Amino acid sequence: MTETKSELRICIFCGARPNFMKVAPIIRLLKKNENEGWDGRKVAYSLVYAGVETDPTLEDSLFKDLQISRPNVYLGVECENLNELTGQVMSKFEQYLQQNKTHVVVVVDDLASTMAAAIVAKKQGIQLAHIAAGTRSFDINMPKEINRLVIDGLSDVLFTAGLSNNSIANKEGAELSRVYMVGNILIDNIRFNRERMSNLALETIPSVCDLGLKTKQYLVFTLNRKALMNDKENLKRMLNAMFEAAKDMPIVAPLRGNAAQIMKEIDVTKHKHLHIVNPLGYLEFSYLLSNAAGIITDSGNVAEEATFTNVPCATLNSYTEHIETVKQGTNVLVGEDAEKLKTAVSDMAQGKWKPTALPDRWDGRSAERVIQTLLDIAK
């Protein structure tokens, strides 16, 4: 824990890189109010990461862009098998909680490590709060769906991003008093970084500065979902449909190692308008997204950011945890269907898209609501 003497001690648990983006607004707000406290009460927090300190996805620029410190504690768990990972996280997180007085554990999303932390917290009699609660695919064969059900079922407080998530939590038996619609906490980051992004330009971002990109005249493509990459034949079919629909419009693809390798294996890297570039820093990537004509992605976080910045987005999945990005936002679900993707990309390239609106409570104040709720329940 940080050195502050405090009435409320919070452990913020992260299982993977994307989790840090959702807890960063909470940490920034806690740091800002560190001295004066909240209504006379002080809060101490510790940031715990399931993985190793040398994790290459946790580059220093990530924490610099989010303006938070690196984790206080690394559990050091590093393995591919999810059952083995779950067991190791449970063992090491239990040791941490036994040695560090904690009133509330805050977990994010739906990873196996998140579920492990949730189970341990409840076994230790510690209050559990879940950010991004109430998300469902309604496919019990998906490992993450089981994680979601377990985490939400154990949580004392469910922080949801939208009304659809509230409805799911309530239908599954969660008491209304435990469910709080705080809004989409990712938006807190985007609003926070707006002013800082004004100093960026496409010509000054190292990974893309030589591509001659012009604002709203290029597409962004991201790829991370294993199921999509494992079906190489269909992936190639989808990418060829994307290329055909985009015509002469440049497609920028910031891809990490495995995804970049798959693109080579299916022999699409030589397409003249496709530019596979090194992964960008968090701030640079946000800037690239916000100035694109359209985004093709399999990431829910990217789709949410696209809705906030009013950029057309095609998600390579048949469902989304945040249906408001489809019903109100700029997102469309094309699944793994090459023809649907072709239609969506063609519309992007021609500047045609559906009418959109910003979902409720995407106002940049989600972290404030989370902290105030935690203070209220810990009285």
Tokens for 74, please give them: 């690394």
Instruction: Let me know whether 201 and 65 are in one domain.
Output: no
DSSP 38: B
Is 202 within 8 Å of 232 (Cβ atoms)?
no
- Please identify which residue in the block is written with the tokens 């990972």: 85
pLDDT the model gives residue 161: 86
Query: Which sign, positive or negative, has the C-alpha torsion 137, 140, 143, 146?
Result: positive
Q: Indicate whether 3 belongs to any domain.
A: no
Q: Indicate whether 128 belongs to any domain.
A: yes
pLDDT the model gives residue 4: 45
Instruction: Let me know whether 141 and 220 are in one domain.
Output: no
Instruction: Let me know whether 175 and 115 are in one domain.
Output: yes
Residue 128 belongs to domain with CATH number: 3.40.50.2000
Tokens for 158, please give them: 């469910």
Q: Indicate whether 188 belongs to any domain.
A: no
Instruction: Let me know whether 161 and 254 are in one domain.
Output: no
What domain range includes position 135? 8-183+362-377
Instruction: Let me know whether 175 and 218 are in one domain.
Output: no
Q: Indicate whether 357 belongs to any domain.
A: no
Examine the pLDDT at 346 and tell me if it is beyond 70.
Answer: yes
Q: Indicate whether 254 belongs to any domain.
A: yes
Instruction: Let me know whether 227 and 330 are in one domain.
Output: yes
Instruction: Let me know whether 131 and 208 are in one domain.
Output: no
Q: Indicate whether 189 belongs to any domain.
A: no
Least confident of 46-55, 98-107, 166-175: 166-175
Instruction: Let me know whether 20 and 154 are in one domain.
Output: yes
Least confident of 168-172, 273-277, 309-313: 168-172
Q: Indicate whether 330 belongs to any domain.
A: yes
Is 51 within 8 Å of 85 (Cβ atoms)?
no
3-state SS class at 51: coil
pLDDT band at 130 (very low <50, low <70, confident <90, very high): very high
Of the candidates 70, 100, 121, the residue with the CA atom closest to the CA atom of residue 6: 100
Instruction: Let me know whether 41 and 168 are in one domain.
Output: yes
pTM: predicted TM-score of the whole model, two decimal places? 0.86
Instruction: Let me know whether 369 and 341 are in one domain.
Output: no
Instruction: Let me know whether 299 and 215 are in one domain.
Output: yes
The kind and range of the H/E element at 104 are strand 104-108
* pLDDT tens digits along 146-205: 999 999 999 999 999 877 666 666 566 666 668 999 999 999 998 998 878 888 999 999
pLDDT band at 339 (very low <50, low <70, confident <90, very high): very high
CA distance 110 to 19: 10
CA distance 71 to 50: 10
Instruction: Let me know whether 198 and 136 are in one domain.
Output: no
Examine the pLDDT at 59 and tell me if it is beyond 60.
Answer: yes
CA distance 319 to 298: 10
* pLDDT tens digits along 353-375: 999 999 988 999 999 999 999 99
Q: Indicate whether 53 belongs to any domain.
A: yes
Total domains, the chain: 2
Of the candidates 10, 360, 329, the residue with the CA atom closest to the CA atom of residue 184: 360
- What does each C-alpha distance from 10 to 13, 91, 126 come to in angstroms? 10, 20, 10
pLDDT band at 269 (very low <50, low <70, confident <90, very high): confident
pLDDT band at 127 (very low <50, low <70, confident <90, very high): very high
